[in-house]
Amino acid sequence: MDQKTKDGLQGFAIFAVGIAIWTSWPSTPKTPEEFLSERTKTYCTNSGLGRAQAEASSEAAITKKLKAPSTTEFGGDEAHYVKGCEWRVSGYVDAQNAFGARIRMPWVSSLTFHPEHDTYTISANLVQ
């Protein structure tokens, strides 16, 4: 491929990306009420990203409690929508203990999203 063709393709790619960004850019800034409504629909219903966010946040909180966090492998995650913006998540984690032995430990968490502040509170515990 000659240099002129490469330059043309690069120009077209830059143009296409620019159009994609321009068309996806919101036309007007969102009001606080619109932002809150969007966050609530996303994280405080049994659909959308709420389930995935609850699982990922719970796994991150459990990982912080382990002796060897780099050895973790999660499995059996089950996220249950409770009501409002509340989730209960459980599963198990395989990880090394203080002696280097790989063990499986069940865990549970309770998570509440606060869409008005774009935060959440979580209580995550290993079940002994």
Read off the pLDDT of residues 19-69 as tens digits, 9 standing for 90 and up: 766 666 665 667 888 888 888 888 888 876 788 889 999 999 999 999 999
Domain that holds residue 69: 3-126
* pLDDT higher than threshold 70 for residue 15: no
CA 94 to CA 70: how far, in whole Å? Answer: 11
Q: How far is CA 80 from CA 51, 64, 104, in A?
A: 8, 22, 22
- Specify the higher pLDDT residue, 34 or 121: 121
**pLDDT computed for residue 87 by the predictor:** 94
Please state, rounded to an integer, the average pLDDT across all residues of the chain: 84
* Whether 74 contacts 56, CB under 8 Å: no
- The β-bridge partners of 95 are 103
Helices (H), the chain: 3-24, 32-43, 50-63
pLDDT at 13: 63
Q: Which amino acid is at 102?
A: R
**Euclidean distance between CA atoms 90 and 97, whole angstroms:** 20
Q: How many domains does the chain have?
A: 1
Q: How many CB atoms lie within 10 A of CB 43?
A: 22
Percent of the chain beyond pLDDT 70?
A: 77
